[in-house]
Chain A
């Protein structure tokens, strides 16, 4: 039996200890990295003041707009294409690897291992090795995003199948339906809304990641930002950032609306 006073003092101790440990890690980390907290804090208003002066698009910036928009549309299309192709591949792999629909334990383990390996290889590494063989082209960006997305989507789809489809599947199995009937009549229709929701999320994510891939592989919106930024055409760079903000938020709003209807 614990008295309330003892419980509270213990709880207090517990919290103080956790806060002290986290604070300690923070101070130690700043020291190791030579991070000057005060200067860092002061840099934030300075950065915004600088942004306000230099990144503001002016009258001349308008002439960059067509090119920015063209690259932006290209990037969004690339993000969508890579996500859809990744989703098609992932759904089959996920069906093979999930605990409910999977073939056997061995295959399941292998699929899980491959998925988490693909997911954890840094996007930088994919971009660079693909750039080496596929040169500076949109296809390189497409492949880098594709390989990354496959890792995420396999894991997400497997979890969806295990969470949502197991009961429907049992019900249909009990009627004597064959494996493929179960998959196409029970599992896939059941999980379709959640899968679509994940695809929409992955598209948003890929548009953001495409910027990084673009900077590294010289494609799409990332490349054009990098060019403007490094040649000190900051007004054009600012315009590019505004365009990215616009597209990402628009995509977020559209997918939220779609989710409201389907889920």
Chain B
């Protein structure tokens, strides 16, 4: 009796186990290590940056003047609107053309490279080749082809297509590898041939992600078409942009071209969203 009373009157403070706010795990350590090393590298790079003796405040003031000319007083400059529109059109067509080539060949290679469809050796060798092709920047592809075909559209088309095919092969084959194994098995059991399986089982399953990846690539290709036009002299709006900003220093025209390009990318994004929604809702 006395025992229990004393317990009631003076309860021992319960010792709760210490609550761990963060569970220790490999992934947490990894995140911290990676972030720390990235920040260290950044710190090192920024303190050892070669600024070529440019005075930052003067340069920023100059940049502001340039930006003011670009964004607030754009005009078509000496080239005139018709020429710029024509150049813009050819860049858009260039990107559409290379995306079509990329989609067709990318799908073929993706089917041959997917782990659940082909034998391991063929798949692995295609994946390795595509990884190498993807590692070389588009601009270098365009420069390489321009030696054989001469500077111009053909080199640009081939250069852009190479990178597109490699990129889309990876994207599509990842979607194909996400397909449920049983779908393919059940068609194989019926004795369906390889291409029948591809077009009756695989294609309908991945069509939505196929469409979204293709449109993502279209946007990338438009950006790349401009880059190739500027740095490899392949024509189009990129070349006009390069001439206006790097040779004639007409920043009013540069601004005008930038606005045109931004407008086109907005339109492409809008169309992509609409078409993606259509395919996802089916």
User: Hey, which bits of chain A sit against chain B, CB under 8 A?
Assistant: 22, 25-26, 29-30, 32-36, 39-40, 43-44, 46-47, 50-51, 55, 77-78, 80-81, 84-85, 116-117, 120-125, 128-139, 142, 189, 192-193, 196, 199, 208-209, 211-212, 215-216, 222, 225, 229, 241, 244-245, 248-249, 252, 258, 261-263
Pull 29 A–B residue pairs with CB atoms less than 8 Å apart, ordered by A.
A25-B100, A29-B93, A29-B96, A36-B154, A40-B149, A43-B154, A47-B145, A81-B41, A116-B266, A125-B257, A128-B242, A128-B254, A132-B245, A133-B63, A134-B63, A192-B31, A196-B31, A196-B34, A209-B137, A215-B231, A244-B135, A244-B136, A244-B137, A245-B132, A245-B135, A252-B131, A258-B34, A261-B27, A262-B34
Q: Closest 7 CB pairs between A and B?
A: A137-B52, A128-B245, A248-B135, A81-B45, A133-B62, A120-B265, A84-B42
| A47 partner residues in chain B, CB cutoff 8 A | 144-145, 147-149, 158
From A43, A131, A133, give the contact of B246 (CB < 8 A): A131
In the complex, the answer to whether B148 meets A122 with C-beta atoms within 8 Å is no
In the complex, the answer to whether B131 meets A249 with C-beta atoms within 8 Å is yes
| B94 partner residues in chain A, CB cutoff 8 A | 29, 33
In the complex, the answer to whether A35 meets B153 with C-beta atoms within 8 Å is yes
Total chain B interface residues with beta-carbon distance under 8 A: 71
In the complex, the answer to whether B157 meets A211 with C-beta atoms within 8 Å is no
Q: How far is the CB of A192 from the nearest CB of chain B, in Å? A: 6
User: Hey, which bits of chain B sit against chain A, CB under 8 A?
Assistant: 22, 26-27, 30-31, 34-35, 38-39, 41-42, 44-46, 49-52, 54, 59-60, 62-63, 66-67, 70, 89-90, 93-94, 96-97, 100, 131-132, 134-137, 139-140, 143-145, 147-149, 153-154, 157-158, 223, 226-227, 230-231, 238, 241-242, 245-246, 249, 251, 254, 257-258, 261-262, 265-266, 269
CA distance A167 to B249 in the complex (A): 51
Known contacts A129-B254, A249-B132, A124 near B241 by CB under 8 Å: yes
In the complex, the answer to whether A122 meets B60 with C-beta atoms within 8 Å is no
B contact patch SS? helix
Nearest A residue (CB) for B265: A120
In the complex, the answer to whether A125 meets B132 with C-beta atoms within 8 Å is no
Q: How far is the CB of B277 from the nearest CB of chain A, in Å? A: 17
Known contacts A29-B93, A128-B246, A212 near B52 by CB under 8 Å: no
Q: How far is the CB of A160 from the nearest CB of chain B, in Å? A: 14
| A117 partner residues in chain B, CB cutoff 8 A | 262
Known contacts A32-B90, A47-B145, A132-B249, A121 near B258 by CB under 8 Å: yes
A contact patch SS? helix
